[in-house]
């Protein structure tokens, strides 16, 4: 590790002691990396300096991570909704390598290129009809910022500048910058720190949990279509939207699955209610499909479960197959035309690396794998295997609910997750990252049935730890 200048003797060793010394040097290198990391490198939502609990990854292939200590756990998280085709996927590797030898980046102001144009065309084709314009962003959070800006600029441009607030339901997560945090659940703890600084948005209660996804239903799951919407909740939505209509620019929600806010699933019918209310009161509708997009819920987009087109849609995470950060915000011609009538008649946003060719090329490869349609069978198979494998968790002590939707499996506990849970999963050969009161998995679509069974038994072990 020349950069730390501490192991020069690794290179001066000779004879048969060399191998032993090399392996000892490797162990020392791991320890040095972890020590420097702990004292200097910030991880998501962690203190500085951190505690000593990080695992050093030295490789990743297929559905497995390689750790410095030799273990090779299955990644039950798909690097957080992203690596749906697995690691070192040959199609994605090749697309990235081919683009890297053409050109890695050019500015998007005044220039364009085939990978970006092709990606935009595919996104317009795949997303619900009516979403025709694409803004490329470098992260999911930025794509939410852009979505909010699109709506705020739209109303300003059409002479309704008083429409500046956003309505959302509780339990949501939309990103980590200040404006995107303003539409996250205000009881989530973190945004409460910023009260008074963030724009004050309009909140309605979280949507009722779907009973059809819960394994607690011993009679077997009903079809989603058989489930009834809660009339009281619908009335609350209608009343709040009507009350604030004059000041509302947009409604933003995560459709069908509220992810970081608690892995809660709701009936897609509530999305149709939101669409009707937005239309009736002249409000724009944003679906943040960062987590739900690209098949996780069993539909290509969660909006497809409801047959609803939002005015604006945010995509990220699995867009690039989990290879790198990349996101996109799509909108309808109504939104784009409205913005074009304003002063200035442009969307006031741009970033240095927007439309990056490597991101676009690997996203095109990821979408080409999805376009083959095989994902549907894979997600259906995973859903079945998760339902089977997690059924026993229903009867565990301290388990509040067990639910499965598409390639998402959740065990909800009556207590907060603690580090022993991830350790118990790792002992079973699976990388999980329990949070809040949840042990959950988002397996890569390329997992075999045996690998799903292993993930399930690791989840059960974690929940019992």
Ligand X SMILES: *Cc1c(COP(=O)(O)O)cnc(C)c1O
Supply the minimum distance, in Å, between the C-beta of residue 139 and ligand X.
4
Binding region for ligand X (CB under 6 A) out of 15-23, 88-96, 243-251, 253-261 = 253-261
Judge contact between 155 and 249, C-beta under 8 A: yes
Binding region for ligand X (CB under 6 A) out of 30-38, 68-76, 284-292, 361-369 = 284-292
Q: Could you give the C-alpha distances from 62 to 316, 374, 443, in angstroms and in order?
A: 21, 17, 11
Supply the minimum distance, in Å, between the C-beta of residue 378 and ligand X.
21
Q: Could you give the C-alpha distances from 286 to 18, 272, 428, in angstroms and in order?
A: 60, 13, 40
For residue 233, indicate whether it is catalytic: no
Residue (of 275, 265, 281) closest to 412 by Cα position? 265
Beta pairing, strands 284-288 & 312-315: parallel
For the window 305-324, what string marks contact with ligand X as x by the rule CB under 6 A? -----------xx-------
Q: Output the CA torsion 35→40→45→51 (10° steps).
A: 30
Tell me whether residue 99 or residue 292 sits nearer to ligand X (CB atom). 292
The answer to the question of residue 259 lying near ligand X (CB under 6 A) is yes
For residue 163, indicate whether it is catalytic: no
Supply the minimum distance, in Å, between the C-beta of residue 180 and ligand X.
7
- Tokens found for residue 117: 């144009």
- Tokens found for residue 131: 């979403």
According to CB under 6 A, which residues from 170 to 209 bind ligand X?
173-175
Judge contact between 351 and 138, C-beta under 8 A: yes
For residue 288, indicate whether it is catalytic: yes
For residue 317, indicate whether it is catalytic: yes
Of 9, 45, 226, 397, catalytic: 45
The answer to the question of residue 290 lying near ligand X (CB under 6 A) is yes
The answer to the question of residue 144 lying near ligand X (CB under 6 A) is yes
Please tell me the distance from the alpha carbon of residue 425 to that of residue 5, in angstroms, as a whole number.
36
Please tell me the distance from the alpha carbon of residue 318 to that of residue 300, in angstroms, as a whole number.
11
Beta bridge partners of 331: 133, 312
Out of 141, 156, 182, 457, the residue judged to bind ligand X by CB under 6 A? 141
Out of 29, 145, 227, 254, the residue judged to bind ligand X by CB under 6 A? 254
- Tokens found for residue 263: 């892995």
Tell me whether residue 270 or residue 451 sits nearer to ligand X (CB atom). 270
Tell me whether residue 63 or residue 291 sits nearer to ligand X (CB atom). 291
Of 75, 138, 185, 288, catalytic: 288
Judge contact between 29 and 1, C-beta under 8 A: yes
The answer to the question of residue 140 lying near ligand X (CB under 6 A) is yes
Tell me whether residue 174 or residue 264 sits nearer to ligand X (CB atom). 174
Supply the minimum distance, in Å, between the C-beta of residue 312 and ligand X.
13
Please tell me the distance from the alpha carbon of residue 376 to that of residue 340, in angstroms, as a whole number.
38
Question: How many CB atoms neighbour CB 28 within 10 A?
Answer: 15
The answer to the question of residue 406 lying near ligand X (CB under 6 A) is no
Out of 148, 152, 181, 291, the residue judged to bind ligand X by CB under 6 A? 291
> Which residue is nearest to ligand X, using beta carbons?
140
The answer to the question of residue 139 lying near ligand X (CB under 6 A) is yes
Of 317, 323, 428, 440, catalytic: 317
Judge contact between 424 and 398, C-beta under 8 A: no
Tell me whether residue 156 or residue 297 sits nearer to ligand X (CB atom). 297
- Secondary structure E strands in 90-141: 133-137
Judge contact between 263 and 440, C-beta under 8 A: yes
- Tokens found for residue 462: 């974690």
Say whether 179 sits in a helix, a strand or coil.
helix
Tell me whether residue 34 or residue 300 sits nearer to ligand X (CB atom). 300
Annotated catalytic residues are 45, 173, 288, 317
Residues that bind ligand X (CB under 6 A): 139-141, 144, 173-175, 254, 259-260, 288, 290-291, 316-317
């Amino acid at each position: 590790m020349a950069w730390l200048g501490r192991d020069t003797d690794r290179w001066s060793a000779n004879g048969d002691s060399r191998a032993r010394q090399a392996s000892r040097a490797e162990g020392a290198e791991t320890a040095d990396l972890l020590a420097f990391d702990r004292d200097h490198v910030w991880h998501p939502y962690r203190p500085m300096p951190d505690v000593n609990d990080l695992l050093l990854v030295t490789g990743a292939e297929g559905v497995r991570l390689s750790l410095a200590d030799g273990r090779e756990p299955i990644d039950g998280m798909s690097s957080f909704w992203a690596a749906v085709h697995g690691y070192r996927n040959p199609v994605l590797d090749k697309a990235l390598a081919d683009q890297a030898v053409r050109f890695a980046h050019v500015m998007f102001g005044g220039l364009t290129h085939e990978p970006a144009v092709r990606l935009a065309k595919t996104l317009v084709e795949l997303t619900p009809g009516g979403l025709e314009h694409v803004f490329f962003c470098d992260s999911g959070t930025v794509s939410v910022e852009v979505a909010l800006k699109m709506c705020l600029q739209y109303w300003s441009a059409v002479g309704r500048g008083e429409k500046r607030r956003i309505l959302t339901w509780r339990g949501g997560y939309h990103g980590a910058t200040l404006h995107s945090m303003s539409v996250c659940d205000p009881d989530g703890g973190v945004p409460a720190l910023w009260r008074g600084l963030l724009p004050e948005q309009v909140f309605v209660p979280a949507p009722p949990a779907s009973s059809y996804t819960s394994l607690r239903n011993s009679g077997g799951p009903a079809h989603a279509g058989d489930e009834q919407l809660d009339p009281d909740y619908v009335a609350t939505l209608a009343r709040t939207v009507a009350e604030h209509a004059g000041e509302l620019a947009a409604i933003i929600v995560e459709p069908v699955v509220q992810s970081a806010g608690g892995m809660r699933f709701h009936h897609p019918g509530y999305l149709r209610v939101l669409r009707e209310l937005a239309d009736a009161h002249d409000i724009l509708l944003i679906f943040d499909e960062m987590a739900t997009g690209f098949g996780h819920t069993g539909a290509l987009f969660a909006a497809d479960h409801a047959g609803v087109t939002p005015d604006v849609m945010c995509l990220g995470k699995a867009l690039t197959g989990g290879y790198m950060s990349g996101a996109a915000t799509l909108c309808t011609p109504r939104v784009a035309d409205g913005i074009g009538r304003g002063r200035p008649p442009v969307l006031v946003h741009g970033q240095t690396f927007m439309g990056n060719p490597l991101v676009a090329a690997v996203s095109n490869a990821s979408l080409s794998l999805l376009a083959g349609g095989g994902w549907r069978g894979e997600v259906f198979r995973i859903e079945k295997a998760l339902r089977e494998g997690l059924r026993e968790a229903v009867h565990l002590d301290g388990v509040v609910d067990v639910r499965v939707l598409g390639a998402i499996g959740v065990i909800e506990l009556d207590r907060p997750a603690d580090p022993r849970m991830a350790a118990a999963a790792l002992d079973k050969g699976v990388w999980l990252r329990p949070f809040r009161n949840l042990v959950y998995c988002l397996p890569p679509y390329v997992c075999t049935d045996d690998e799903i069974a292993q993930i399930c038994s690791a989840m059960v072990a974690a929940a019992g730890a």
